[in-house]
Amino acid sequence: MQDQFLRRIDYLRISVTDRCNLRCKYCMPVDGIEWMPHDFILSFEEILRLMKISTQLGFRRFRITGGEPLVRKDILDFLREAAQLPGVEDLMLTTNGMLLPEMAFDLKAAGVQRVNISLDTMDRTRFFENTRGGDVSKVIQGIFRSLEAGLNPVKINVVVVRGFNTEELPSFLKLAKQYPLHVRFIELMPIGVSSEHRNEFVSIKDMKELLGLNEDDLPTKDIPGGGPAEYFRPSGYKGSIGFISALSRHFCDTCNRVRLTADGKLRPCLHSKHEVDLREVLRSGSSDQDILNVFAQAVWHKPAEHHMNNEAWQDTRVMSQIGG
């Protein structure tokens, strides 16, 4: 469907849990967050009902995220059902990759088409420290298992943080050169814990400089699900490199997505605190038509743009609760 600014909105990002097996420094506070009570979290039946309703509004692409989506019990059964819903053309997943070595083939068999895997550093110790306990070898193994399983494309999300991984960026170029991997460098967003670390922000312009990207390299449009990323495929590369800039050059005018939080709130904009409580509507015995009307209203009122560049901007949630 279209929103009031004539943007075509057909992409729903669904967080299926606020829980995670890691505690990334820019995403979660050191003591973690208080998990939501179980009955706050939408059941898979409720999520499938909302997906079905959203397809009637023209939603076609669905990304499952979290927290860490692969830690939720029975996730594979849910994905299998979600992939078979009429109208679902693209089912994707964003994961930290820790469980991919054993799950990549099952995901593909369940109907997931592609995965985005978060990997901010390939250094063992740095990864362990940044994720507060993660094992980078599992993630790297998971990336290659995903390629073997035929998930395509496999995209790697690298959040760039000054003083943490800036000097490592060129090694990520090698990854995209040697393998059919699409490495995307992402600007740190001031959400939750990260709002206190605005000085660690690196703009896309600075990233390109650090990478020595040649100005003659032209962006390519042939990466499926390109979305807000600007991709380059330098000659000789099996994969590509991309840049996602939410701050220095925001992409609000072409935004095509809304988000569903694990506790059933529809968030028309990642960076606006405004949410519509679909869980309440679902659990009050509403008909599909009533739910569709509330859903459509929320999408229609999607804000024109975000105000994250404003220093005073603060979210009430941390990123693991929204799903990225």
Choose the stretch contacting ligand SF4; rule: CB under 6 A; options: 61-69, 146-154, 168-176, 196-204: 61-69
Q: Partners of 160 in the beta sheet?
A: 187
Q: Which is nearer to ligand SF4, 54 or 118 (CB)?
A: 118
Question: Binding mask 22-41 vs ligand SF4 (x if CB under 6 A, - otherwise)?
Answer: xxx--xx-------------
Q: Shortest approach of ligand SAM to residue 138 CB, angstroms?
A: 13
First to last CA, the chain: 22
- Give the integer Cα–Cα distance in Å for 77 and 62: 16
Binding of ligand SF4 at residue 320 (CB under 6 A)?
A: yes
Residue 302's SS3 state is coil
Q: Shortest approach of ligand SAM to residue 191 CB, angstroms?
A: 5
Q: Please state whether beta strands 265-267 and 219-220 pair in parallel, antiparallel, or not at all (unpaired).
A: unpaired
Q: Do 91 and 79 touch, CB atoms closer than 8 A?
A: yes
- Give the integer Cα–Cα distance in Å for 136 and 141: 9
Binding of ligand SF4 at residue 161 (CB under 6 A)?
A: no
Q: Shortest approach of ligand SF4 to residue 120 CB, angstroms?
A: 9
Binding of ligand SAM at residue 151 (CB under 6 A)?
A: no
Within positions 55 to 84, which residues make up the interface with ligand SAM, using CB under 6 A? Answer: 65-66, 68
* Token couple for 274: 């405004």
Q: Which is nearer to ligand SF4, 23 or 265 (CB)?
A: 23
DSSP 147-216: HHHT-SSEEEEEEEBTTTTGGGHHHHHHHHHHSSEEEEEEEPP--GGGGG-GGGB--HHHHHHHHT--TT
Question: Binding mask 104-123 vs ligand SF4 (x if CB under 6 A, - otherwise)?
Answer: --------------x-----
Q: Partners of 201 in the beta sheet?
A: 161
Using CB distances below 5 to 8 A depending on partner kind, what does residue 42 bind out of ligand SF4, ligand SAM, none?
A: none
**Residues interacting with ligand SF4, by CB under 6 A?**
20, 22-24, 27-28, 66-68, 96, 118, 319-320
Q: Where does this chain bind ligand SAM (CB under 6 A)?
A: 20, 26-27, 65-66, 68, 94-96, 118, 157, 159, 186, 188-189, 191, 194, 319-320, 323-324
